[in-house]
Amino acid sequence: MSSIMSVLQSSYSANTSANLISPGDKFAPVDPTKYQGTWTGKDYKNQPITISITKVSGYRANVTLQDSSGLQFQRALITTKGRFRIGNSQFILTGKGVAQIDTIVTDPNTGIQTDNKATLNLK
């Protein structure tokens, strides 16, 4: 029984860190004014998306994502490339007050994954 638990624990630990941080990502303090605030846009279903970024400190921030699939909250790690992940989405700062969110959506019938992109604007 203990060998099964150790295998599960090592698999979980390895996969969890790989999903949250991409290989080669670097972290350094970011300018909070570029990120903090409420970002809004429309998703691939033309439904509203709202991302609220607060308490940016160093390269960490509190992020709340509200979209058609529900509400998610996470403490995000912002890379030097202006990116962070929340759930199955990735936020990418593309300009002053403009960002893009990429969301991976899996079709439940076929298992095919698609990358849906949406533009967000800082209010």
What does the pLDDT look like over 82-118, one tens digit per residue? 999 998 899 999 999 999 999 888 889 999 998 899 9
* DSSP strands (E only) in 12-69: 37-42, 48-57, 60-67
Model pTM greater than 0.85? no
**Domain assignment present for 24:** no
**Domain assignment present for 21:** no
**Domain membership of residue 87 as a residue range:** 30-122
Question: What CATH number did the domain enclosing 103 receive?
Answer: 2.40.128.20
- For 27-32, what is the mean pLDDT? 93
**Domain assignment present for 11:** no
Instruction: Return the number of other C-beta atoms located less than 10 Å from residue 20's C-beta.
Output: 13
Buried b (16+ CB within 10 A) or exposed e, 71-99: eeeeebbbbeeebbbbeebbbbbeeeeeb
**Domain assignment present for 103:** yes
- For residue 61, pLDDT over 90 is answered with yes
Greater pLDDT, 94 or 17: 94
- For 10-39, what is the mean pLDDT? 74
Greater pLDDT, 123 or 44: 123
The sheet carrying 113-122 orders its strands as 70-77, 60-67, 48-57, 37-42, 113-122, 98-106, 89-95, 83-86
Total count of domains within the chain: 1
Percentage of the chain with pLDDT > 70?
83
**Domain assignment present for 108:** yes
What's the confidence (pLDDT) of residue 15? 44
